[in-house]
Amino acid sequence: MLFDLKLSALAPGALLLGIALFVQILNLFTRLASCSLSMISILLVSGLILFIYYVYPCAMHLGSGCSGYLPHTHKIQICLLVFCIACNIFFIISQQIRLEEFPSEYVSLMLFSALGGFIATSAQDFLTLFMAIELQALISYILSSMAVRSSLSSEAGLKYFCLGVISSCVMLFGISLMYGFVGSISYYRISLDSGCSFAIALILTGLLFKLGASPFHMWLPDVYQGSPIFAVNVFMTINKLTVLISIIRLRCQLDMFFTVAAVSSLVVGALGALKQVNFKRFLAYSSIFNVGYILICLVTKDYKLSVIYLLIYTLNVFMIFSILASLGIEIDTLQILDLQGLAFRAKFQSILLAICLLSLMGIPPMLGFAAKYYVLYKTVATGNYYLAVFASGMTLVPAYYYLRIIKLMFLEQVTASFLPAKLLSYGALCNVLNVIGVLIVSFGWVVAL
Amino acid sequence: MLDFPILSITILIPFLAAIYILAFAPSQKYVQVISLSASTLTLAFALLLLKNFDVESYDFQFVEQYTLISRIGLDFFLGIDGISLLLINLMAFLGLLCVIYALSEIKQRVAEFMFFFFLLQSFIIASFAALNLLLFYIFFEMALVPMYMIIGLWGGANRIYASYKFFLYTLAGSVLFALCIMYFYKNASTLSIPELYSIGYELDPRHQKWLWWGVFIAFAIKIPMFPFHTWLPDAHVQAPTTASAILAGVLLKLGGYGFLRILLPILPQASKDLAIYPLIMSSVAIIYASFAAISQKDMKKTIAYSSIAHMGFVTGGIFSLSYVGINGGIFQMLSHGLISAALFFTVGSLYARVHTKQIDSYGGVAAKMPALASFFMIFMLSSIGLPGTSGFIGEFLCLNGLFEQHYFISAISAFGIVLSAVYMLSLYKKVMFGEISNQVIATIADLSLQERFIFTLLTVAIVLLGIFPNYVNKLLKPSIEIITGAIYVI
């Protein structure tokens, strides 16, 4: 037979597709607001999480659903769970953000994006991978231009689209070159002879573009600055996770490529953020810097650590967004100087925000310090001493500008700022979530990673 | 022997006090009660450690060890020997004095100040007690944040610049130290300091030199030694008095402690080969910092530079690698802790009354504040190294130790004593004697009760150490023998 249909193995992806379509239909035909839609999605995705964790393992041994898919293993199951959990956390956080002006399609779009992640995780040949990456990319283009009243958002979407299409073309060229050299698009036929390594380099170029690594990072600051906040959340979590898992699945040995990308990401991310005044642009450069750390993990071939580092970074950024959102601050147009004197207006949230910033900086005993320490330890342990010294040296530069934000919050007086006159306190739930998140950030690493 | 975890309790008391003050936001009066009782309780436990310490034992005492994360070698491993015992007592003692002083000096947001101060105290005591390299590093770094906030929130006009400089400079050194810790764990499979003592010299000799420089620069920035000292004058001048006292009194000693605990015993061969560099840096520090102190117009900056010069004696003594020298180095650390805290409190008292630190605005204070003048005289003479005070013992032992190995460097360093007399005596004369030219001085009051109490305690401590130094030397004997044994066996 041309293909083997063992449908029960396709169940998670099919269920997620069903949920996404259901939410979209609800959105079209009822007048539910986006917070109700995200509530429904939270429930459905939680059901999916329980399904994948408890029910699905008995179907995993049945083999893959179709030829492009890998039979699901334990690791893949964990990746699927992570995507679902990330979606859920984001929906919970988005309850606090005032999103009345934005079209409510973002809920279903995010679910489709997670579906792209599902496909990319279980892909075993290049075209399936390409399909998944393109699905996510198209959704990202839509999401980034979704703030219909902002011209900055349209500009961001257009830039992302143009550059993203070029990078997809480069990736496709690499895939076709690989097919030309080897005769197959399956992962198992990847070789690293001279022509093939060029092909792999092109594929990785396309993937690193999506990840936001230097020297393919040019789109990141502009797109992050212009996109609405939920789009930035999707970019930071689901897109990066998908691309990282795909790179790991490729298992190629291009050390020099990753080292150069890592070094330039660290430099660009560290130095680029020094002069930024816009908060989201600043976060974009800090994400470039942390992608540099992830690439260092890939150089040391500790793939599990790279995913863990990305998750820890994502948690940190989620907490920052959540805390700012629970204060009612409009993150889309936030300038860093607007945070001046925040400690006088909202002391409790400022302390939580300071703990998250210290964690991003890499100060013990926070989770961010643990992540950076593990990565650097692995680098020293595998003998890349120069890389370790360079990475730890470049970590001092972000320390300066995170410290500057803490200084602005605590040590400066409140000026005529942009914060709403009465800082909303949405009640206990957001604060409880914030506190739990920050406690995880503070002490979570004592649970031995 | 006590069988409850006394070290953990000593670390936890200030930490819990800090959390309590932050969480329950008590009123002003209640904050005073809590702070005083917490610091007194910490001092009580530190003295309890002192009383139950076994002076004959060569092991670490009051040990507590639990494995935390074995993948990177982190254990919760606490234990003290003579050196850490004395430094913990110094911290507890100065902590109490600083709390008493701060309660009368800090007017705004006292609760937050106490919160940061107790956090700082807790982390520093934990650093001194930690016997796992990574645990030591974690507490070492954690102490930076409260210090940054204290300097930034309650400091002088240029405090933002000073706090950044302090934080980033020290962080840069710590990062190098972290890399060395990772190398240690990879190659020696253990991060516990007692175990590293026995296997440290087996590390790859080609790498020992780089490791030595990495660890050395981290602590050299903390002490601070000559080319890395530029953060100290700024941090001291801009910090509030209490923070300067604790910074000069205890934080600087973390660097010296790091040399003694980590650098010398774990990397003895490299220490022997490379000891000439710290010695040259020490003698340059003494001479340079003394000359810089002579030319200062700001009282606090003078004392800051004098701190650099005195710590030059400490590093000279430590890197002389002789028993007498190391003994002198540790003694000088203790004595300098007391003396510089006392000097900063003095300057703080003057500043609180006259509101300026410029020496030119002073003159004739002794007529109005005879009590302060007497105390200042005692502290100033002990800073110079007058026999009968602890300053003399410290400097004398360091120079003795240096003289055995490098008489030229010892001669240059001895000249520093003369220079310290120059700047200290001229500071005293310009501030205390002469006519009263500043009208503000005509109206000031003499010392308050808290200030008298603090100064009396400090004077008693300095004079006691100066007359009965062997109380301290007895405690240090096993520890120094371990260090010199490690070096001279190789």
Q: Tens of pLDDT along A231-281?
A: 888 888 889 999 999 998 887 778 888 999 999 999 999 999 888 888 999
Q: Is A411 on the interface with B (CB under 8 A)?
A: yes
Cβ of B183 within 8 Å of Cβ of A376? The answer is no
pLDDT score of A3: 44
DSSP A313-364: HHHHHHHHHHHHHHTT--GGG-BGGGGTTHHHH-HHHHHHHHHHHHHHHT-T
Q: How many other CB atoms sit within 10 Å of the CB of residue A148?
A: 11
Find the CB nearest A374 among B72, B137, B142.
Answer: B72
Cβ of B142 within 8 Å of Cβ of A364? The answer is yes
pLDDT digits (tens, 9 = 90+) for A188-209: 777 777 788 888 899 999 999 9
- Nearest CA among A373, A302, A380 for reference residue B184: A380
Percent of chain B clearing pLDDT 90 (strictly above): 56
Q: How far apart are CA B448 and CA A35, in angstroms?
A: 63
Q: Which residues of A touch B152 (CB under 8 A)?
A: 407, 410-411
Q: Which residues of B touch A354 (CB under 8 A)?
A: none
> Which residues are CB-contacts of B322 (< 8 A; sequence separation ≥ 6)?
B401, B404, B405, B484
Mutation to test the B interface, candidates A355, A357, A403, A412, most B Cβ within 10 Å? A403
Residue of A nearest to B76 (CA): A446
Indicate the pLDDT class of residue A444, thresholds 50, 70 and 90. low
Tell me the nearest-neighbour CA distance from A378 into chain B, angstroms: 9
ipTM computed for the complex:
0.88
Find the CB nearest A363 among B141, B153, B164.
Answer: B141
Cβ of B168 within 8 Å of Cβ of A445? The answer is no
Coil/strand/helix, residue B69: strand
Coil/strand/helix, residue A69: strand
The dihedrals phi and psi of B277, each to the nearest 5 degrees, come to -65, -50
> Which residues are CB-contacts of B130 (< 8 A; sequence separation ≥ 6)?
B77, B78, B136, B139
Residue of B nearest to A361 (CA): B171
Which range (A18-32, A295-309, A414-428, B313-327) has the least confidence?
A414-428
Most confident residue range from A130-134, A342-346, B270-274 = A130-134
> Which residues are CB-contacts of B176 (< 8 A; sequence separation ≥ 6)?
A392, B214, B215, B217, B218
pLDDT score of B415: 92
Tell me the nearest-neighbour CA distance from B71 into chain A, angstroms: 8
Q: Is A399 on the interface with B (CB under 8 A)?
A: yes
Q: Find the helix or strand (DSSP H, E) in which B76 lies.
A: strand B74-80
pLDDT score of A49: 84
Q: Which residues of B touch A445 (CB under 8 A)?
A: 69
Indicate the pLDDT class of residue A2, thresholds 50, 70 and 90. very low
Cβ of A377 within 8 Å of Cβ of B185? The answer is yes
> Which residues are CB-contacts of B223 (< 8 A; sequence separation ≥ 6)?
B252, B255, B256, B311, B314, B315
Q: How far apart are CA B229 and CA A40, in angstroms?
A: 60
pLDDT digits (tens, 9 = 90+) for A311-359: 889 888 888 888 887 777 777 778 888 788 777 777 778 888 888 898 8
Examine the pLDDT at B409 and tell me if it is beyond 70.
yes
Place of tokens 């405090």: B159
Q: Is A363 on the interface with B (CB under 8 A)?
A: yes
Indicate the pLDDT class of residue B345, thresholds 50, 70 and 90. very high
Examine the pLDDT at B93 and tell me if it is beyond 90.
yes
Place of tokens 């699901």: A72
Examine the pLDDT at B320 and tell me if it is beyond 70.
yes
Indicate the pLDDT class of residue A419, thresholds 50, 70 and 90. low
Find the CB nearest A403 among B69, B138, B167.
Answer: B167
Mean pLDDT (chain A) is: 83
Q: How far apart are CA B275 and CA B314, in angstroms?
A: 14
Percent of chain A clearing pLDDT 90 (strictly above): 26
Q: Is A439 on the interface with B (CB under 8 A)?
A: no
Q: How far apart are CA B82 and CA B481, in angstroms?
A: 11
Q: Is A435 on the interface with B (CB under 8 A)?
A: no
The dihedrals phi and psi of A414, each to the nearest 5 degrees, come to -70, 125
Cβ of B142 within 8 Å of Cβ of A365? The answer is yes
Tell me the nearest-neighbour CA distance from A385 into chain B, angstroms: 9
Place of tokens 């320490």: A373
As a whole number, mean pLDDT of residues B135-145 equals 91
Q: Is the Cβ–Cβ distance between A292 and A269 less than 8 Å?
A: yes
Residue of B nearest to A403 (CA): B164
The dihedrals phi and psi of B80, each to the nearest 5 degrees, come to -130, 155
Q: Which is more confidently placed, B284 or A196?
A: B284
Q: Is the Cβ–Cβ distance between A299 and A260 less than 8 Å?
A: no
Q: Which is more confidently placed, A220 or A412?
A: A220
* Strands B74-80 and B61-69, bridge-based pairing: antiparallel
pLDDT digits (tens, 9 = 90+) for B449-484: 889 999 999 999 999 999 999 989 998 999 999 888
Tell me the nearest-neighbour CA distance from A300 into chain B, angstroms: 14
Which range (A247-256, A425-434, B11-20, B213-222) has the least confidence?
A425-434
pLDDT score of A1: 39
Which range (A281-295, B90-104, B176-190) has the least confidence?
B176-190
Cβ of A449 within 8 Å of Cβ of B71? The answer is yes
Q: How far apart are CA A401 and CA A274, in angstroms?
A: 7
Find the CB nearest B152 among A389, A395, A407.
Answer: A407
The dihedrals phi and psi of A105, each to the nearest 5 degrees, come to -70, -15
Indicate the pLDDT class of residue B136, thresholds 50, 70 and 90. very high
Q: Is A148 on the interface with B (CB under 8 A)?
A: no
As a whole number, mean pLDDT of residues B155-183 equals 90
As a whole number, mean pLDDT of residues B237-257 equals 92
Cβ of A365 within 8 Å of Cβ of B69? The answer is no
DSSP H helices in A31-73: 34-50, 57-60
Q: Is A444 on the interface with B (CB under 8 A)?
A: no
Place of tokens 């911290």: B91
Examine the pLDDT at B215 and tell me if it is beyond 90.
yes
Examine the pLDDT at A4 and tell me if it is beyond 50.
no
Alpha-carbon distance values, A16 to A34, A52, A140 (Å): 19, 11, 18
Cβ of B71 within 8 Å of Cβ of A448? The answer is yes
